[in-house]
Structure formats: structure tokens, C-alpha cells
Amino acid sequence: MKIPLEELRKCYLFKELSDSELAAIAAIGKSEVYNQESTVFREGEVPQALYLIHYGSIKTEAWGPGGHEQPFSFLGNGATFGESAFVAHQPRITHAVAMERTEVFYFPFSALEGIFAENPSMALKFFRALSLHLGRVLHNCILEISRLREEVVNHHHHHHR
């Protein structure tokens, strides 16, 4: 299936790209269908690609302490996942599972790197979008951590009066 450019344009990573730049991204994209409960990638794997959900839904989860699965996020049509690994190249810290029949477009990191090496201005647009996104994620994590800390402190006080 050919990847529709307007679908790419809706994605925050590619928002700033011109039509010809979008076409270059579309050209390296591949499509894969996952059945319900199929794993897209596992924690600990070496990341190979970033993913965009064409239709369906994905949950990402991490193993919590004591080996329990902690759902991390639920993603639907048009959402991307797996992109943060593009910068760090560290093993995946979550696994991603299809919650229903789901088609994803995936973009191999090696192919993206090839395009960016030839188009520095395109790389700049992409990495700016990714940085803003990761900044927001970090910001939300910090807020969540301070909220949880407060809960723990309040809980602690109630039990020690």
C-alpha cells in the first residue's frame, strides 16, 4: 500500500516537511498488519524503526517491579510510537502490542538516517518536532512524579499521626 502524504502530514514529526520531503519519507515507509494481541516490538529489542498507526490501536507497556505489566499508553489512528529510540539507539524500554487488528506504517531508522544525511534542512525540521515532543513528555513525567510524591507524603502523614 502506498502511504498517503496527507496522513504523514497530520503526524507531528512530519508537519513542517514540504511535499517533496514527505514523498521521500513515504518512499521508505512500509506497511504491516498485526492481529489482536500481536507484538510489534518487545522490551530489550534493538530499535529498528518508528511507527505510525494507519488504523487500529496499540498499547505500550513496561514491566513494573515484581514482573507486573504496567500499561504505559494507549494509541489510536494517526499516533506514532517508537520514535524516541531514534535518537538514543538504546534497547526498547517498553513493548508494543496490537489491541485489535491494526495496520502500521513503519519507517526504518537506517533509511531515515540516509535521507537526513542528504537533506540537513529536513533533518532539522524532523528533530525539532521530535525534541518538542520529548520535552513535553519529560514535562508531563516530572509533573506526574511530583504528584505521586505528594500522594506518598500525604498518605505517610495520615498513617503516622
pLDDT tens readout for residues 47-68: 999 999 999 999 998 877 776 6
The residue behind cell 487488528 is 101
Tens digits of per-residue pLDDT, 5-44?
999 999 999 999 999 999 999 999 999 999 999 999 999 9
Pairing mode, if any, of strands 30-34 and 58-63?
unpaired
Name the CA dihedral angle for 4, 113, 62, 144, rounded to a multiple of 10 degrees.
-90
Q: How many domains does the chain have?
A: 1
pLDDT at residue 26, rounded to an integer: 97
If pLDDT is split at 50, 70 and 90, which confidence band does 159 have? confident
CATH number at residue 141: 2.60.120.10
pTM for this structure?
0.84
pLDDT of residue 161: 64
pLDDT score of 62 = 84
The pLDDT of residue 129: 95
How confident is the model at residue 2, as a pLDDT? Answer: 83
Mind listing the pLDDT tens digit for each residue in 71-97? Answer: 678 999 999 999 988 888 889 988 999
Give me the pLDDT at residue 158, please: 76
Mean pLDDT of 147-154: 90
Q: Tell me the residue range of the domain where 105 lies.
A: 5-159
pLDDT of residue 88: 80
What average pLDDT score do residues 110-121 get?
Answer: 96
